[in-house]
Amino acid sequence: IEDALQEGVPETVKMVRDAGIRLWVLTGDKVQTAINISLSCNLLDSSMTILKLTDDFLENQNQDDSMVISEAEKKTLLMTALRNTLR
């Protein structure tokens, strides 16, 4: 089953982007599903860099691979990654 975008969504998202407003995708979908939806509604385009902040990404940010990081540490790493991306 595929949900269709509501009428006018791609055009509206493009206008918001063209106005210089930053948009973020935060989803529980599979990464590829989120990317496909974002491309179809003009939230992403081929010139953009996609930063995938997945559990694997967060685990790889841990300095000591022998440790399991807590949810709080994941949130801290996520915020650090986001701040670094915005610079």
Q: Which helix (H) or strand (E) holds 1?
A: none
Angle, CA of 35, 22 and 83, to the nearest 5°: 90
* Amino acid identity at 87: R
pLDDT digits (tens, 9 = 90+) for 26-78: 777 788 888 888 888 888 888 887 777 676 766 665 555 545 567 677 777 77
- What confidence score (pLDDT) does residue 66 get? 47
Cα→Cα distances 76→2, 24, 65, 71, Å: 35, 18, 17, 9
pTM of the model: 0.54
